């Protein structure tokens, strides 16, 4: 159905939600028409009284008609409530769940284009705004337009067409005025959202960096910047509301002109005898009752236009392509092969160019090179966090682009440089590596990652809640929990992104000893900046400017006296540096 498909994307609805919105619009229309029927019964009754045709036999008919109309109003209002509010709240839950599921399946390239404040606004604020629009504005607007059109056509067919035109001409003109300003309204709303998100990012950044700000006596300067952002939000909000008010109030003024034209044309026709007094008063009563709710409808129309910005932001997420593939692994072994791989985060920004190498199962392959050379990108491509621009990445001969990402992840244990922990116990944070692991298995993994030393000092040991993102732990302790997850998962492929960067020499040695036990017969890819960390690697791949500059065993690269040898020499000299 074309109408349903249009609603799906225009208002970021599910198929069921689009069907419910259609039903809601119909129910509002029926409710409005039932309310109009009361005026019809009243008009007929007064006409019979004026024409002296109201007999005793007709009185029961009017009583029954009034009861039927009142019952119809009650029933249609009940149906309208269910089809608008209850269905909307149900759809709101579906929308948030669908959005969460969609975000889970999106490639990380999408998140590279979005910031946290933007996505948080989409999930929370945009969903809430569309919920309000779906329950209060959209059905009321469409129902009012349809019911008013039906009333206008009925009056045109059964009453004087000139009176209908005098009463109704202002309605399309008012709507066209609001519609004509849609572009300006959307532009203002987008700019308003932009300054709000800038403020949200500024506040978040302030909270995250308050320690550094205080250490450098920079908090006052930073707060001055936040004050400017707050004033920008206030200024833009006033500007947006003013633009909306000018538009809606101008349309409302035009709407009120209908009262004057109805009275003027009606008076002229009454004077000529073209209409009777009852018809004249009926149209005056009609416009006095019609224009006030129609003015509210104009406000709803303007609000819906503004809401399309939120709808577009949601639809951008819900309509974005997801990574798909087979849910069955067909690999033979776990060699990771990059075959002439090129990759760009954006179409015009190349990160990797024609990268080819193989990380063999049972070997440790170290990725080194200057910052920004593409090391982290290579490791992310290996696990299909992104899809390559050209070339192919295979795992045991299996093209990973044809494998479902979640299925592929089952073969990987990954330790990121930036550790993410949750406000749960140490036990549960490690158990994320394998949800069905027993307590004994979790503690065994923790011992392999050298966690026992600091966990034993915590108030409740492994049951200690470590705060938001592990705020109660040091950097090295947080890193060791992340490593424990990898031990617990015990996957055949291990990706280490500077896994020992936050560890002291003693703990780093302990971790490397444990890793040597873990990596037997596994594919290990290590990103490292410390050359002594990769001295025992089976193969080293030197990446610089997105290109493989050198590849081979450590001793071979040392004899070549290239980038690797230079990096080793530079770090050795740095380690020997002392303060004068």
Residues 518, 463 contacting (CB under 8 angstroms): no
pLDDT tens, residue by residue, 179-197: 888 777 788 888 887 788 7
pLDDT band per the 50, 70, 90 thresholds, residue 555: confident
User: What is the SS3 assignment for 273-292?
Assistant: CCCCHHHHHHHHHHHHHHHH
d(CA 259, CA 40): 20
Instruction: Give pLDDT tens digits for 459-487.
Output: 899 999 988 777 788 877 888 888 888 88
Which of 391-395, 504-508, 516-520, 552-556 is the least confident region? 504-508
Q: Answer whether residue 44 shows pLDDT above 90.
A: no
Average pLDDT estimate for 489-498: 86
48-57 mean pLDDT: 70
557, containing H or E segment? helix 554-560
| pLDDT bracket for residue 349 (50, 70, 90) | confident
In this prediction, residue 357 carries a pLDDT of 94
Q: What is the arithmetic mean of pLDDT over 360-385?
A: 88
DSSP 400-420: GGGB-HHHHHTTEEEE-SS--
| Tens digits of residue pLDDT in 144-187 | 888 888 888 888 888 888 988 988 898 889 888 888 887 777 88
Residues 6+ apart with CB under 8 A from 414: 379, 383, 486, 494, 495, 497
Domains of the chain in sequence order: 2-318 (1.20.1560.10), 323-411+493-503+520-575 (3.40.50.300), 419-490 (3.40.50.300)
- pLDDT computed for residue 87 by the predictor: 74
Per DSSP, 458 falls in state S
C-beta of residue 366 within 8 angstroms of C-beta of residue 539: yes
- Averaged pLDDT for residues 225-236: 87
What pLDDT is stored for residue 225 in this prediction? 86
List, for residues 410-440, the tens digit of each pLDDT value.
899 888 777 888 889 999 999 998 888 999 9
Q: What's residue 1's pLDDT?
A: 54
What's the per-residue H, E or C state across 344-381?
A: EEECCEEEEEEEEEEECCCCEEEEECCCCCCHHHHHHH
pLDDT mean over 382-408:
91
Phi/psi class of residue 276: alpha, beta or left (left: φ > 0; alpha: ψ in -120 to 50)? Answer: beta
Question: The tokens of 565 are what?
Answer: 């040898």
Three-state DSSP state, 13: coil
Question: pLDDT at residue 559 above 80?
Answer: yes
Give the pLDDT score at 4.
Answer: 65
Closest CA relative to residue 543, chosen from 383, 382, 377, 400: 377
Q: Which parts of 132-282 are beta strand (E)?
A: none
Q: Are 136 and 81 in contact (CB under 8 A)?
A: no
Q: Indicate if the pLDDT at residue 346 is higher than 80.
A: no
pLDDT digits 0-9 by tens, 92-145:
777 777 787 888 778 776 776 666 667 777 777 777 777 777 777 778 788 788
Beta strands 349-359 and 336-346, pairing class:
antiparallel
- The arithmetic mean of pLDDT across residues 558-563, rounded, is 87
- Rounded CA-CA distance 408/449 in Å is 24
Question: Hey, what are 179's tokens?
Answer: 């519609």
What one-character-per-residue DSSP string does 144-174 give? HHHHHHHHHHHHHHHS-HHHHHHHHTHHHHH
Residues 6+ apart with CB under 8 A from 218: 212
Answer for the pair 362, 521: CB distance below 8 angstroms, yes or no: yes
For residues 419 and 470, is the Cβ–Cβ distance under 8 A?
A: yes
Please give the residue that has the higher pLDDT: either 4 or 569. Answer: 569
Mean pLDDT score across all residues of the chain: 81
pLDDT bracket for residue 237 (50, 70, 90) = confident
Q: How many CB atoms lie within 10 A of CB 395?
A: 28
- Give me the pLDDT at residue 499, please: 62
Contact predicate 300/141, CB 8 Å: yes
d(CA 537, CA 525): 10
pLDDT over threshold 70, residue 75: yes
């Amino acid at each position: 159905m074309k109408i349903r498909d249009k609603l799906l994307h225009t208002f970021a609805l599910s198929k069921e939600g689009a069907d419910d919105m259609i039903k809601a619009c119909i129910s509002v229309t029926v409710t409005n028409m039932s309310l109009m029927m009361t005026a019809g019964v009243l008009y007929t009754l007064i006409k019979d009284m004026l024409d002296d045709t109201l007999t005793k036999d007709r009185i029961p008919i009017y009583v029954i008609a009034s009861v039927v109309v009142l019952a119809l109003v009650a029933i249609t209002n009940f149906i309208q409530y269910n089809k608008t509010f209850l269905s909307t709240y149900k759809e709101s839950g579906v929308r948030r769940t669908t959005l969460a599921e969609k975000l889970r399946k999106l490639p990380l390239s999408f998140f590279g284009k979005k910031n946290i404040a933007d996505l948080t606004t989409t999930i929370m604020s945009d969903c809430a705004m569309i919920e309000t629009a779906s329950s209060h504005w959209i059905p009321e607007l469409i129902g009012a337009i349809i019911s008013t059109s039906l009333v206008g056509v009925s009056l045109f067919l059964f009453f004087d067409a000139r009176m209908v035109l005098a009463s109704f001409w202002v309605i399309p003109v008012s709507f066209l005025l609001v519609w004509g300003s849609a572009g300006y309204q959307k532009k203002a709303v987008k700019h308003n959202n932009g300054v709000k998100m800038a403020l949200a990012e500024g506040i978040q950044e302030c909270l995250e960096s308050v320690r550094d700000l205080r250490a450098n006596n920079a908090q006052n300067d930073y707060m001055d910047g936040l004050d400017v952002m707050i004033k920008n939000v206030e200024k833009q909000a006033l500007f947006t509301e003013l633009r909306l008010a000018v538009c809606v109030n101008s349309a409302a003024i035009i709407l009120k002109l209908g009262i004057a034209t109805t009275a003027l044309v009606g008076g002229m026709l009454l004077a000529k005898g073209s209409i009777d007094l009852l018809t004249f008063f009926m149209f005056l009563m009609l416009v006095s009752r019609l224009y006030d709710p129609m003015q509210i409808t104009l406000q709803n129309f303007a609000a819906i236009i503004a809401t399309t910005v939120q709808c577009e932001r949601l639809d951008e997420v819900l309509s974005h392509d997801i990574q798909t593939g087979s849910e069955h692994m067909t690999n033979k072994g776990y060699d990771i092969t990059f075959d002439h791989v090129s990759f760009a985060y954006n179409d015009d920004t190349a990160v990797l160019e024609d990268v080819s190498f193989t990380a063999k199962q049972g070997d440790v392959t170290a990725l080194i090179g200057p910052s920004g050379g593409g090391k982290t990108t290579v490791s992310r491509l290996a696990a299909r966090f992104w899809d390559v621009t050209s070339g192919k990445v295979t795992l045991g001969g299996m093209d990973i682009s044809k494998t479902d990402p979640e299925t592929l992840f089952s073969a990987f244990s990954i330790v990121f440089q930036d550790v993410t922990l949750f406000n749960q116990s140490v036990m549960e944070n490690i158990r994320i590596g394998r949800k069905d692991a027993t307590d004994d298995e979790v503690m065994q993994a923790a011992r392999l990652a050298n966690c026992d030393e600091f966990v034993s000092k915590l108030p409740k040991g492994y049951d200690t809640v470590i705060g938001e993102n592990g705020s109660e732990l040091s950097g090295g302790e947080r890193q060791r929990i992340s490593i424990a997850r990898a031990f617990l998962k015990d996957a055949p492929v291990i990706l280490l992104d500077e896994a020992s960067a936050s560890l002291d020499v003693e703990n780093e040695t302990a971790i490397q000893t444990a890793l040597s036990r873990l990596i037997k017969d596994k594919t290990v890819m290590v990103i490292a900046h410390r050359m002594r960390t990769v001295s025992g690697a089976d193969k080293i791949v030197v990446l610089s400017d997105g290109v493989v500059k050198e590849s081979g065993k450590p001793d071979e690269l040392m004899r070549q006296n290239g980038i690797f040898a230079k990096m080793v020499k530079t770090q050795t000299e740095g380690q020997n540096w002392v303060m004068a």
